[in-house]
Structure 1
Amino acid sequence: MSILLGGGFYADANNKKNELPEIGVVASSAISLDKEMLIGDALMRQLRSQAPVINDPLLDEYIQDLGNRLVAQADDVKFPFTFFLLNSPDINAFAFFGGHVGVHSGLIFNAKNESELASVLAHEVSHVTQRHIARSIEERQKSAPLQIASMLGGILLAMANPEAGMAAISAGSAASQQASINYTRQNEKEADRIGIRILAQAGFDPNGASGFFSTLTEKSRLKSAPMAFLMTHPMPESRVADARSRAATYNVGTIPESLSFHLAKSRILARYYAKPDYNIEYFSAALAKDSYVFKQAAEYGLALSYLANKQYSQAQSLIANLLESDPDNLFYLDVFTDIAIETKQFESAINRLSSQTAHNPRNQVLVLNLANVLIKDKQYAKAVSLLKDFLLLKPNNMLAYDLLSDAYLGGQQPLEMHQVKAEVFALVAAYPRAIDELQSAYNYAGEKQLEKQRIRARIEQFRDAQEKLRTL
């Protein structure tokens, strides 16, 4: 699967987009790289439990692919990057320990083109590669002892919800903790400089940065309160001019529009923002007035809206036409699968997805859709086999675990179902509940001594993880 500038989102067995770029070397800091990754993992688990993280394979695949194209052009990459989405209309993005970059859905929806979106991701990648959070902690450590545990709650809130986060910080040790969230102007200038270079080298329009800053400036004038991005990224007026002058140093031709970007925008509106009747009217009007960048994106949004409104024949007609001209497009295949499930055309979906998955067994959109159809068709054993193989490659995929739990439940395998539920709770740092699930699994193990031993060992691992979380 690949993203082509101006093209669709495709399944491609030869694409290696999710392979990691070569890892660079950087100087040590107050926080070791190992501890930075440990803190990043802990924060991510808490975010899953406390923030509206979107578990959408299509949008996950899109944003991870886009991010990886940028990371591939960055220097000093120390760990694999994880890009994820939050369901929030705020125009915001944030980076934190261990290569995690969060993007609010409002950022994608309000970006005018893919280069604007990519400019924000490149900026956040630069914050990570330059270890700006770790460096600010190192500076503060000279005058005060490092208190990671006391910072976690404020950082977590501020990243997912800047207004709530800033309020929490103000109630605590404001001066010291705010520095852990608000990058200094020097940090911002450095991230801008490096980000624009990454943006241009990755094949995007370097003017995307100044374009995005201009969009922020326009929208902020219409709001009484500061915008989310501006609260976490100080932005003086000169920043737009600086970004524009930096972009002018790169000789870049015309960058074609990205179909995948506009499909993602349509998906966010249809799936996460407005009600189906409004969306049907919105996309129908766009098609009637030729008010779109890509007709396919408007038709795709309309198909999603019809699907949500249970108008399956209308949705199916649109998707059939889209797939006829672009049979490997994952956005279309996903809607095709949902329609097939609702209309109980399981065999048709299984056949189509199986042929695609055979060529691209690592793609989460294909695998998870196929597993879902297999479960609906009560082919539980096949779904279990498919999901277990996938989780070996993607061990932190929440949706895969949820589907695997459903497959075990349908197949009347309570021992395995409780074990899988334990992993789901662990992914949101709910270790006591994870241990409870494993104890339930233990009761179903009967005379399976090896299985009991594995469960006991996993319980100890969860207890160790809980203790590490306490001692951060």
Structure 2
Amino acid sequence: MVAAQTARSDRNALPEIGVVASDTVSIDKEMLIGDVIMRQMRAQAPLINDPLLTEYLQDLGNRLVIHADNAKFPFTFFLINNSDINAFAFYGGHIGVHTGLIYNAENESEVASVLAHEVAHVTQRHLARRIQSAQRASPLQIASMIGGILLGVAAGDPQAGIAAISASQAAAAQQQLNYTRSNEQEADRIGITMLARAGFDPNAAASFFGKLAAQMRVVSRPPARLLSHPLPESRIADARIRASNLPQVRLPPSLSFHLAKARIQARYIYDIEAALQYYSNAVNEPRIVPEASQYGLALALLRNDDVEEAKAIIEQLMAKDPSNLFYLDTATDIYLALNESQKAVVMLEEELKNSPRNAVVTLNLANASIEGEKYDYAIDVLRDFLLINPKHMLSHQLLSDAYAKSSRYLEMHQMNAEVFALVAAFPQAIDELQHAYNFAGDSHLDKQRIRARIQQLRDEQAKLERLL
């Protein structure tokens, strides 16, 4: 009741300006622009195609989105390999998160507070409203300009993104990404309310703001997030006031968050020596979640080729939590390192009964099957998965690998074409299909399908160029 009253009061104090946007940009057009930028991201940004971390981030984001008003489309959350503390949103419900954000967060609610803020920018259509101020630019130009800026942000150097496009376009693109003060206030208000509705600690937004402000005071260059999301002291105070008017919660540590953080530290932030040193000490540190420190040590040992030691740790963890996806994934890597792919297949097939079409289980099963030269089985698993995840990049790459190793070159070139299409490299995709055509032999059906797909890709390219 208190939360509802507070939300109504806040809504009266600050109108939701985003929901009235935008006559210029339809939802369909916004999704098309988002698709163009996402293809650019896949091609050029340091994306992390880690099924475990992707699933954790997507699950965390979905827990917020179901409590968001005005969500017009599914949201896609993805991870950028960058140690800066940052996250960003763009058209069509795409939200990128830097590894540095999770690394620097103390708990799951802090990460969720940033995601909620970005979700609010999307649901209020703050970026879509900006297109109205650039009526003379085509949507494709806007997508290209914003994509250039975002690629710079993803790489940790916004100025590099600006330099990649002409000076006249750069100013317009930067303007598209600069949220107004009213946008920030609205995203803060809606984000904190969303955070509380989803069962997270509403105080996390203020605590994370405070962390950014403290970092800004001790470094010459502001944290990356503050370059696009200015943080006056009043925002911290406002966040604290809003949180104080919402139900207070005390949450136990999230094991999934701490395992994800350990994975990021052990695999993407630290080098091998630093990871070994940190986690060798962390297992004796009582303030660190013990399962996370043990898991991080197992990952560090595996990176150092100490496979048997890593195996002993993972087996102990799995004895207590046999269906934990983090442990299953690392157990798979250990079995493959020991040339015991069949053990991995048996383990994962059993888990697949409980979690059909789960991305982590499915992709590990396919990979283990490929390593064990069970190509037809891997192909069946991946094709089934792609029926419901048609834009899953890693699945297409694994399927291409399975086709290549089983000497099915017709299908291999077809899969290569799909990989190129996902990064908007349409000429290369069509070239792969023309190679596939040469392997079709006397199969008129295959040839007809290939010709039809080539035409689809040409139509898709033309559609993106027009972005009507």
The alignment status of 1:232 with 2:223, answered yes or no, reads no
Contact conserved, 2:379 with 2:399, CA < 8 A, in 1?
Answer: yes
State the TM-score, normalizing by the size of structure 2. 0.92
2:59 aligns with 65
Are 2:33 and 2:140, in contact at CA under 8 Å, matched by a contact in 1?
A: no
Are 1:169 and 1:177, in contact at CA under 8 Å, matched by a contact in 2?
no
1:306-365 residue CA offsets vs partner (Å, 9 max, x unmatched):
111110010000000000001010000000000000101122111110011122122100
Matched letter for residue 240 of structure 1: I
User: Post-superposition shift, 1:159?
Assistant: 2.3
Give me the whole-angstrom Cα distance separating, in 2, the residues matched to 1:171 and 1:145. 17
Deviation at 1:247, TM superposition (A): 0.4
Paired position in structure 2 for 1:96: 90
Which residue of structure 2 aligns with residue 201 of structure 1? 197
Q: Which residue, 408, 411, 418 being the options, matches 2:406?
A: 411
1:147 deviates by 3.2
Task: Give 1:131's match in structure 2, choosing from 125, 129, 151.
Answer: 125
- The reply to whether residue 78 of structure 1 matches residue 72 of structure 2 is yes
Correspondence for 1:149: 140
Aligned-residue offset at 1:462:
1.0
Partner of 1:16: none
Does the Cα contact within 8 Å between 2:21 and 2:129 map onto a contact in 1?
A: no
User: Of residues 277, 282, 285 in structure 1, which corresponds to 2:281?
Assistant: 285
- What is the rounded CA distance, in whole Å, between the counterparts of 2:143 and 2:20 in structure 1? 24
Check conservation: 2:21, 2:128, Cα contact below 8 A: no
**1:330 paired residue number:** 325
Q: Is the 8 A contact 1:29 1:134 kept in 2?
A: no
Structure 1 equivalent of residue 29 of structure 2: 35
Stretch of structure 1 that moved more, 175-184 or 305-314: 175-184
Q: Quick one: distance in 1 between partners of 2:239 and 2:80? A: 27
Shift of 1:168: 5.0
Deviation at 1:175, TM superposition (A): 4.5
Secondary structure, counterpart of 1:98 in structure 2: coil
* Residues 169, 178 of structure 1: 8 Å contact kept: no
Is the contact made by 2:22 and 2:128 (CA closer than 8 Å) also made in structure 1? no
| SS of the residue 2:78 aligns to | strand
**Do the aligned partners of 2:34 and 2:143 also contact (CA within 8 Å) in 1?**
no
Q: Is the 8 A contact 1:114 1:261 kept in 2?
A: yes
What CA deviation, in whole Å up to 9, does each residue of 1:407-438 have, x standing for no partner? 11111100001000100011111111111110
Q: Structure 1: state its 5+ residue gaps.
A: 1-24
SS in structure 2 opposite 1:161?
A: helix
Q: Which amino acid aligns with 1:161?
A: G
CA contact (8 A) 2:21 2:125 kept: no
1:78 and 1:26 mapped to 2: Cα distance? 13
| Helix, strand or coil at the partner of 2:218 | coil
Superposition deviation, residue 404 in structure 1: 0.6
- Find out whether 1:275 has 2:284 as its counterpart: no
Contact 2:95–2:118 (Cα < 8 Å) also in 1 = yes
Residues 1:255 and 2:246 are matched in the alignment: no
Amino acid at match of 1:165: G
Query: For residues 122 and 112 of structure 1, what CA distance do their matches in structure 2 show?
Result: 17
Report the Cα offset of residue 287 of structure 1. 1.5
Bigger mean CA deviation after superposition, 199-208 or 221-230:
221-230
TM-score (norm 1): 0.91
Q: Which amino acid aligns with 1:246?
A: R
Q: What is the aligned counterpart of 1:106 among 62, 80, 100?
A: 100
Hey, what does 2:149 align to over in structure 1? 158
The counterpart of 2:338, out of the listed 343, 350, 354, is 343
2:12 aligned residue? none
- CA gap 1:330/1:396 in 2 versus in 1, 3 angstroms: same
Asked if structure 2 preserves the Cα contact closer than 8 Å seen for 1:26 and 1:76, the reply is no
Query: Aligned pair in 2 of structure 1 residues 26, 68: CA closer, same or farther (>3 Å)?
Result: farther
Which residue, out of 435, 449, 459, partners 2:454? 459
Q: Name the aligned partner's letter for residue 285 of structure 2.
A: K
Structure 1 residue 181 corresponds to structure 2 residue 181? no
CA–CA separation in structure 2 for the residues paired with 1:26 and 1:150: 24
Contact 2:267 2:299 in 1 (8 A): yes
Q: Pick which of 426-435 and 215-224 moved more.
A: 215-224
Q: 1:137 to 1:334 in 2, by over 3 A?
A: same
Shift of 1:192: 0.4
Please say if residues 192 and 205 of structure 2, whose CA atoms lie closer than 8 Å, have aligned partners that are also in contact: yes
Structure 2 residue runs without a partner (length 5+): 1-18
Return the offset for 1:26: 7.1
**CA–CA separation in structure 2 for the residues paired with 1:45 and 1:241:** 39
Question: Alignment partner of 1:172: what SS?
Answer: helix
Work out the CA distance in 2 between the residues paired with 1:466 and 1:396. 16
Aligned length: 444
Give the whole-Å Cα distance in 2 for the aligned partners of 1:416 and 1:56.
25
Post-superposition shift, 1:469?
2.8
